[in-house]
Amino acid sequence: MLNVPEWFGSAAPLAPLPGQIVGYRAPVDGQPQSELRPSGNGWHYVAADQRFLVEAVTYQTAAQHFEAWVALSERALEANCFYGPCFALPAAQHLAASRRPSFLLIWDETQGEHTRLCGLLPFTLRRTLTGQRIAENWLHDFVPLGTPLIDRENAIETVDLMLDWLRRQNKGIVGLLFRKLHGDGPIASLLRTRAALTGREIREFDRHQRAALPAGGDGESVLGSALSTKKRRELRRQRNRLSEQGEITFSSARQPSDVRAAVEEFLVLEASGWKGEHGNAFLNDSSNSTFLRAITRLLARDDECRIDALRLDGKPIAMGIVLRERDNAWLWKIAYDEDYAATSPGVQFLMDFTRVQLGEIGVRLTDSSAIPDHPMINHIWRDRVCIADTMISTQMHHTRNFTLHAFLEGCQRRVRTLAKTIFYSLKRRRPT
């Protein structure tokens, strides 16, 4: 039995200090592991009064623990519907055929086998320029938030076990990269605290702000403070022009059957615009459209998805898909009819949506899910949430490999940013 009392530091501000780790036995099949095998192999850890199992599994195996997964989502230190089973499982099934993630599960087995799931992280491995490998939380084009699900009652243990499992399971993994975390949220703060207390190196990349709508106030006061008098007058003029063409209504599909019908309207509306022309609409890819239909139907069953629409004589001219987890909401996707571009249907929709969303009971914050400096939403939603990528070493001491990889990671990101800047600058100058 190997004593590892150094796992847990002497203090932590965000969670109670666990009992001292006194040892472990591993692997569960009795054979040492030299590389990641996402088939269910794991490590058992024994604390003074707790037992934990850490294992990497396929999405099919993770799906067998659906109820435990849902329960973890309700207890998680930070809410993230994009890593909940109703979103992550369809994504793994339909979007990631060429590079499916493994799901890292951390179980508290004090009361029995697989009794309490206290951590879940979908992740992939990639090789670095130095020849080492790094683990990173799994993201795809439709995920605006990559916060892992970590039980608030076992937050310290879960983070430390996550990192230790990666270190023991594969000696070539130099770090774990969490992309799109809330930069000032409790998970990011916990990672910084654990890094300081355990001697791990930690780096942050691409910190930025995106628009958000906090609860409180009424729509008219929020919109009035965000928009200038001139802008409000122009939007009223456009609204009047739109109303001359028919009756304007704003509707919300909440029941599963209504959501199902509204999704089909959204798919057609999105495909009719520039996304359809560029091949980026959901309908341009059968896997993407199947994924969208699956997640909206699953989430609507628990009242965690609604679809809002701005309609002209019943026809949708702008729509938005809203997802919810506990007291958090995300304005996940927006589409509008470009035939009405002169009347700004996207902005008209967002203004109506803002009024409705501020009246939603139990919603503390609505995240725009938008890119930084979004040209439309940033001018209407003045509050911000901080988003950042955080990379932490799996070793509890300074390592040359991690330091070098962190340096190269920063260089690669700066080069990509510069390349994008040059590309869009040339694109704007190109004659039409």
Task: Look at the block and give the residue holding tokens 């310290």.
Answer: 156
pLDDT higher at 33 or 276: 276
Are 189 and 239 part of one and the same domain? no
Output the CA–CA distances (angstroms, integers) from residue 93 to 62, 69, 100, 288, in the order listed: 12, 17, 8, 11
- Residue 11 predicted with pLDDT over 70: no
Task: Look at the block and give the residue holding tokens 């004659």.
Answer: 431
pLDDT of residue 428: 63
- Looking at every residue in the chain, the average pLDDT score rounds to 86
Output the CA–CA distances (angstroms, integers) from residue 14 to 45, 116, 236, 410, in the order listed: 22, 21, 48, 29
Are 269 and 314 part of one and the same domain? yes
Structural tokens at position 212: 């958000």
Q: How many CA atoms lie within 13 A of 324 on its CB side?
A: 19
Query: What would the mean pLDDT of 272-296 be, rounded to a whole number?
Result: 94
Is residue 273 included in any domain, yes or no? yes
Are 308 and 400 part of one and the same domain? no
Are 311 and 397 part of one and the same domain? no
Are 393 and 311 part of one and the same domain? no
Task: Give the residue from 326, 346, 363 where a domain finishes.
Answer: 363
Number of domains the chain contains? 2
Are 189 and 222 part of one and the same domain? no
Task: Give the residue from 348, 363, 378 where a domain finishes.
Answer: 363
What is the rounded distance in angstroms from the CA atom of residue 88 to the CA atom of residue 86? Answer: 6
Is residue 238 included in any domain, yes or no? yes
Are 277 and 313 part of one and the same domain? yes
Is residue 379 included in any domain, yes or no? no
What is the rounded distance in angstroms from the CA atom of residue 109 to the CA atom of residue 347? Answer: 51
pLDDT of residue 48: 61
Q: How many CA atoms lie within 13 A of 258 on its CB side?
A: 12
Are 312 and 393 part of one and the same domain? no
Query: What would the mean pLDDT of 305-309 be, rounded to a whole number?
Result: 98
pLDDT of residue 41: 56
Task: Give the residue from 363, 396, 417 where a domain finishes.
Answer: 363
pLDDT of residue 30: 33
Query: What would the mean pLDDT of 339-358 be, rounded to a whole number?
Result: 95
Beta pairing, strands 102-108 & 51-57: antiparallel
Are 139 and 244 part of one and the same domain? no
Residue type, position 232, single letter: R
CATH number at residue 262: 3.40.630
pLDDT of residue 10: 28
pLDDT of residue 221: 86
What is the rounded distance in angstroms from the CA atom of residue 251 to the CA atom of residue 266? Answer: 13
CATH number at residue 192: 3.40.630.30
Task: Look at the block and give the residue holding tokens 């369809």.
Answer: 90
pLDDT of residue 424: 66
Q: Which domain holds residue 419?
A: 5-206+388-427
Is residue 378 included in any domain, yes or no? no
Are 170 and 82 part of one and the same domain? yes
Is residue 371 included in any domain, yes or no? no
Residues 6+ apart with CB under 8 A from 241: 342, 343
Tens-digit pLDDT profile for residues 148-202: 999 999 999 999 999 999 988 877 789 999 999 999 999 999 999 999 998 899 9
Query: What would the mean pLDDT of 392-416 be, rounded to a whole number?
Result: 81
Tens-digit pLDDT profile for residues 55-65: 999 999 999 99
Is residue 183 included in any domain, yes or no? yes
Are 198 and 220 part of one and the same domain? no
Is residue 202 included in any domain, yes or no? yes
Are 66 and 196 part of one and the same domain? yes
In percent, how much of the chain has pLDDT > 90?
Answer: 67
Output the CA–CA distances (angstroms, integers) from residue 141 to 11, 23, 158, 333, 420, in the order listed: 38, 41, 27, 12, 17
Is residue 355 included in any domain, yes or no? yes
